[in-house]
Amino acid sequence: MGSKVLVMLLALALVLSVVMAQPLLEEGREEDGVQQAEPDYAADLLERLLARTQKRDDVAGSDPIKRWRSCIRRGGMCDHRPNDCCYNSSCRCNLWGTNCRCQRMGIFQQWGK
């Protein structure tokens, strides 16, 4: 009989902990179900990023040859994208084509320019 009481107390404690863990209200909602007016910072950030991208597309779209270049500082990681730039450096990789970095051009590369 003692084990039945213990099992019942444990079950009651489990149910009580689950009930207490549930919020009384859904987050962001009031009692009448109306959504609270909280600022949505993620949506604002997304709108600003999309607006900036549209501006770039408008400028680049007017001249099909002009495209935005992503310039990387010397020693920075790079890849062989078409519009990639390393200022007065070149994108140099190891033997397997990985670990690419913008490094100073060699003497023969400078002569070729």
Residues 23-60: tens digit of each pLDDT:
665 555 555 555 555 556 666 766 776 676 665 555 55
Is this prediction's pTM over 0.75?
Answer: no
The domain in which residue 99 lies consists of 68-113
> Measuring CA to CA, which residue among 90, 95, 94, 85 is closest to residue 110?
90
When divided into structural domains, the chain yields a total of 1
Whether 85 is covered by a domain: the verdict is yes
Whether 9 is covered by a domain: the verdict is no
Whether 82 is covered by a domain: the verdict is yes
Whether 103 is covered by a domain: the verdict is yes
Token pair of 88 as six digits: 């007065």
- Sequence-distant (6+) residues with CB within 8 A of 59 are 66
Whether 106 is covered by a domain: the verdict is yes
Whether 17 is covered by a domain: the verdict is no
Residue 11 above 90 pLDDT? yes
> Measuring CA to CA, which residue among 73, 89, 91 is closest to residue 81?
91
